Amino acid sequence: MKDKLCHIIDNNSEELINIGNHIFKNPELGFKEYKTSKIIQKYLKDLNIPIEENISITGLKATIGNGHGINIGIIAEMDAVPTGGHKYSSDDLGAAHTCAHSNQIAIMLAVMKALKESKILEEIGGTVTFIGAPAEEFTDIDYRESLIKEGKIKYCSGKQDMISKGVFDNIDLVISCHTMGGVEGRMTDINSSLNGFIQKTITYIGKAAHAGAAPHLGINALNAAVIGLTAVNAQRETFIDDHNIRVHGIIKNGGHTVNSIPEKVEIEAYVRGGDVQSIIDANHKVNRAFEAGAYAVGGKCLIKDRVGYMPLKQCEDLSKVIKNNMDKFIDEKNIIDGQKSMASGDIGDLASIIPTIQFGFSGFSGNVHGSDFSIVDEEMAYIIPAKIIAMSIYDLLKDHGKLSKEIKNNNIPRLSREEYLKSWLGC
């Protein structure tokens, strides 16, 4: 059966690679993935797979199988990320697929086609649900908050909004994958951790005055920001290494003209960490430091914190199933197990309520989120991950889903959906 699944993927490899490359060259930002969603919908409809559309604006859900027993969710993120200077950057804030979500889409479509054409689920039972998830990148926040005000979404992330809508309520296990980026050769990773984060906007309010003739009549908001950023840097030695704290930001608005004392300066920043309490503790220090900048010059500091993503803790038992099938394609020494990543993703939110994995795969050059990011090994970037997932689904569902049931029973989620919505998104 595994050979049959792989054979179908190989036979359709050119078609699937073309779909992935087309999406890669036509990026769309989160909650704006209209063209991307239509491509996915058409492909699944051509396979006669029923689809639930327009979830969280552009998201979708498609299910195959008997609707009974274990339901395995496979996730394809759809959005691009603002990336200046990329070859395929769109006009919308310079969006580009420099996180390779476009590849996820083609990979998961390949899995769905293999499962459908092989009729494997008719033989062994079980259910597989494809979820096209919008807006994984936590960007373009002003646009997303406008959608919240209009009542179109509740939360700034696609998976967060889908969780709140109950999209994952009937799913037992989740499989996702993500580019490793900038890794030479054929490599994969499993059990990698991700940081969680709080996103923040810091606005300094001063007083405008002529910068040359009467600076003493003004209050320099840019000086306040510089002092605040310096004070944040002074906190770094207090962060405990094991907490994986990362604090970083950009100045979005630094004043209107050189000839005037800046009266308003805006900073956008993240406070990342490896566990929720560490993030909260570090955020308190960072807020105190930013406020010090305003106090020093006699201005005001307004801080708006937004809940970002939860840290990712992967399901190790589910990762073992994936690794057993990686071995067929990747030399064991090239499978990285348990590395720490300081990046973040809303897959961490999903993992808090459902046993979840997100394995990594190579096939790219350049930096993730960088203008030099590109696909260099199409088989590794598309075909091999699809085969690994399809084969793993067979292992999980055979014998009446015995292995899946064991994994589910041995990996009780940290939170229920209601607890997650209240304790994280509600904080």
Per-residue pLDDT of 15-54, as tens digits, reads: 999 999 999 999 999 999 999 999 999 999 999 999 999 9
pLDDT for 149 beyond 70: yes
Confidence of residue 234 (pLDDT cuts 50, 70, 90): very high
pLDDT digits (tens, 9 = 90+) for 384-407: 999 999 999 999 999 999 999 999
- What is the model's pLDDT at position 97? 97
pLDDT tens, residue by residue, 194-220: 999 999 999 999 999 999 999 999 999
Res 427 pLDDT > 70:
no
Question: Does residue 314 have a pLDDT over 90?
Answer: yes
pLDDT of amino acid 159:
98
- Cα separation, 8 vs 4, whole angstroms: 6
Distance CA 276, CA 284 (A): 13
CB 388 within 8 A of CB 360: no
Tens-place pLDDT, residues 48-95: 999 999 999 999 999 999 878 899 999 999 999 999 899 999 988 899
The per-residue pLDDT of the chain, averaged, comes to: 96
Between CA 61 and CA 174 the distance in angstroms is: 13
CA distances from 106 to 20, 77, 112, 169 (A): 5, 11, 10, 25
Do residues 237 and 267 lie in contact, with contact meaning Cβ atoms separated by under 8 Å?
no
One DSSP character per residue, 256-277 reads S-TTB---EEEEEEEEEESSHH
Q: Which of 271, 223, 211 is nearest to 245 (CA)?
A: 271
| Angstrom distance (rounded) from CA 160 to CA 151 | 15
| Mean pLDDT for the stretch of residues 138-163 | 96
pLDDT, average across residues 347-365: 97
Distances from the Cα of 156 to the Cα of 268, 273, 297, 325, 407, angstroms: 15, 19, 34, 35, 31
Q: What is the pLDDT of residue 182?
A: 76
pLDDT band at 425 (very low <50, low <70, confident <90, very high): confident
What is the rounded average pLDDT of the residues 149-159? 97
